[in-house]
Structure 1
Amino acid sequence: MTQPIFDGHNDCLLKLYRGGPGAGARYRGGMPGHVDLPKAKAGGFAGGFYAMFVPDEGPMDWSVMRNAQYDLPLPPRVAQDAARAVVVEQAAILKELHDHGDLTICTDATTLRDAIDQGQQAAIMHLEGAEAIDPELQFLDTLYDLGLRSLGPVWSRPTIFGHGVPFRYPSDGDTGPGLTEAGFRLVERCAQMGIIVDLSHLNVAGFHDVATTGVPLVATHSNAHAICPHARNLTDDQLRMIGRTNGMVGLNFASAFLRPDGQMLPQGALEWMVRHLDHMIELAGEDHVGFGSDFDGAVVPEEIGSVAGLDALREAMVTHGYDDALMGKLCAGNWIALCERVWKPAPRITVT
């Protein structure tokens, strides 16, 4: 039986948002890119964290990530009002897919498990970069009511809550200050509400700041720095901390974070996926590792191509010797277990 794969991160909502009206029809009918309903059914894609992300006004030159070394300049902060408008539109797209029955927005672990077991695509509403949230955190309550159950305080650009890592190779993530005072309030409020805090784009200082709050440390789409020394990847110490705190790390399919040379090229990346998995399992533990593809937000291994090609990953794992029990944990079980640990009813607490 094919193991359904539930994924820690995709950028499908950004793709649908950029396409304008008719997002639901495009999702159901098939479209260019990595994630849509026909591809999901073909690849045994059980769903995942659907990220709401505010794109930059100016384009970034991603082609430099094919160089031997690179350091992309980070874009400036995004204004709160502009970010909020984009997030509201992307949340509406996800709700449209839910209302049509294309997927199920999951706000509790029972619904998540049932959707995956029944072959219905499961979606966790995630916010990648908290530019839309005000310092008083009032909009966080609004998003929670819409279904938000996971957020990253930053994408790589800075926010009022903290500082992210650049797209830099070779480098580690020790690139500056971590959480701001507002960032600590945001993380503490998320802990109270049962919202997963994603550290994938946060720098090392911010990662350690979050660790002081006692929440499970979760990096939804990151890899092992020991194999690919990219600023976006996690050190061995960070991976051990994820395991010790009952957190999670999701293997990022982006070739630049897989290949030891850090190049965003699809060739030769698949062979490194299992090596990253081995390393993360060794340090974080087999109960704390899953997938976080970055589909529709990155160049992925050519053998996979899209969610329709996930069998290539399954075959690589089986060939490597992963048994059914470990496959079940990595493919979906560990993400479900994390949600069972973190999600809970949200008390209404006034933040001062």
Structure 2
Amino acid sequence: MTADLVRVPVFDGHNDILSRLMREGVEGAEQRFLQGQNNVHIDIPRAREGGLAGGLCAIYVPSPAGGLDANGDLPRVELHSAIDQTISQAALLGRIEAQSEGAFTICRTAADIRKAMEKGSFAAVFHIEGIEAAGPDLDIVHVLHAAGLRTLGPVWSRPNIFAHGVPFRFGHDPDIGPGLTDAGRDLIRLCNRLKIMVDLSHMNDAGFRDIAKISDAPLVASHSNAFAVCPHSRNATDWQLSAIRDTDGLIGLNFGVKFLHPEGKADPNMDISVMVRHIDYLVEHVGIDHVALGSDFDGTLISQKIGDATGLPRLLTALRDAGYDEESLVKIAHGNWIALLERTWGA
């Protein structure tokens, strides 16, 4: 790898900093993020050092205690608990913006993202990963959309009233469990009407296929990798990649080592070349205009060769050394995400 690191602004498709901050205590969480703290992947100082210009900030409700159910699935989240935790994390997102003195901007349009990046403000998009806070009436989706929600994943990797999230299984494809419920179909149609991007990263194969039939929007897997390189149930099969390509969609590279390593190893010293191998495969199958980054920062184990947001230039340098030109690097780093969101949300 060359000594000169590539410095291109990155807009990233997935981080879990909100739920991580909440786990560590809501008191002072805003300033911990804005001023910096130990043992996180993202905060404002790290973002500035690594060129992380923004991304999809996920609201995630942890699974209740108790282990797997009789079907081997993680237990469902109770509605009222999910509502409470969703509102708390959404409020934290808003307080970070309010206390940031312009360093952090919640973006509702692609134009907002561009403006925030131009002025050096972290361009945050309000995302929900598994919308357990919604009942079958979907009323809260309207409320959250009015509050800035612009992307959501119907499920995390557990069942809910909308679908059956794909469980974490290495050596097994995502063809596990049933597809969308009637409520799930209603949710996808509502997202299309409201121009909310639907994230397929935690969908099983049946749910993915149902959404492909129903949705009139580009298909997106915000933080998934190539199943052909790492046969993990969370990764995208060749059929799913073709569906993403054919709908002018996008897939974002997940930095989690267990979704990257060809043998499924949680190797904290995994080489960046494995990430490049996934990018190469994705580009080959969906095209350079449909591949981006979806780090899963603060939500999974990431190789020490990247470490945290400050390591992003090392990945871009590895891609350049592998033959990607400057135009391609800009597309992967941020251009493809902004273009995809513009296609989904409208001008």
Other structure's SS at 2:251 match: strand
Report the CA distance between 1:143 and its aligned residue: 0.5
Other structure's SS at 2:188 match: helix
CA contact (8 A) 1:77 1:158 kept: yes
Could you tell me how far apart the structure 1 residues matched to 2:211 and 2:151 are?
A: 15
Could you tell me how far apart the structure 2 residues matched to 1:340 and 1:207 are?
A: 22
TM-score (norm 2): 0.94
Report the CA distance between 1:282 and its aligned residue: 1.1
Quote the residue 1:34 is aligned against.
Answer: 41
Could you tell me how far apart the structure 2 residues matched to 1:57 and 1:79 are?
A: 9
CA contact (8 A) 1:164 1:203 kept: yes
1:84 aligns with 2:89: no
Q: Deviations over 1:28-60 (max 9, x none)?
A: 221221010111111010110000000122287
1:25 aligns with 2:31: yes
Other structure's SS at 1:50 match: strand
Could you tell me how far apart the structure 2 residues matched to 1:296 and 1:267 are?
A: 17
List aligned pairs for 1:1-352, cutoff 5 A.
Answer: 2-20=7-25, 21-31=27-37, 32-58=39-65, 73-100=72-99, 101-213=102-214, 214-344=216-346
Quote the residue 1:66 is aligned against.
Answer: none
Report the CA distance between 1:113 and its aligned residue: 1.3
CA contact (8 A) 1:259 1:269 kept: no
Report the CA distance between 1:73 and its aligned residue: 4.5
Which runs of at least 4 in structure 1 moved beyond 6 Å after TM superposition? none
Amino acid at match of 1:45: L
CA contact (8 A) 1:176 1:205 kept: yes
Q: Gaps spanning 5+ residues in structure 1: where?
A: 62-71, 346-352
Report the CA distance between 1:344 and its aligned residue: 4.3
Amino acid at match of 2:111: T
Number of residue pairs aligned between Structure 1 and Structure 2: 335
Amino acid at match of 1:23: A
Cα-Cα RMSD? 1.5
Amino acid at match of 1:4: P
CA contact (8 A) 1:221 1:292 kept: yes
Q: Gaps spanning 5+ residues in structure 2: where?
A: 1-5
Quote the residue 1:349 is aligned against.
Answer: none
CA contact (8 A) 2:103 2:120 kept: no
Other structure's SS at 1:287 match: helix
Report the CA distance between 1:119 and its aligned residue: 2.0
CA contact (8 A) 1:258 1:269 kept: no
CA contact (8 A) 1:222 1:234 kept: yes
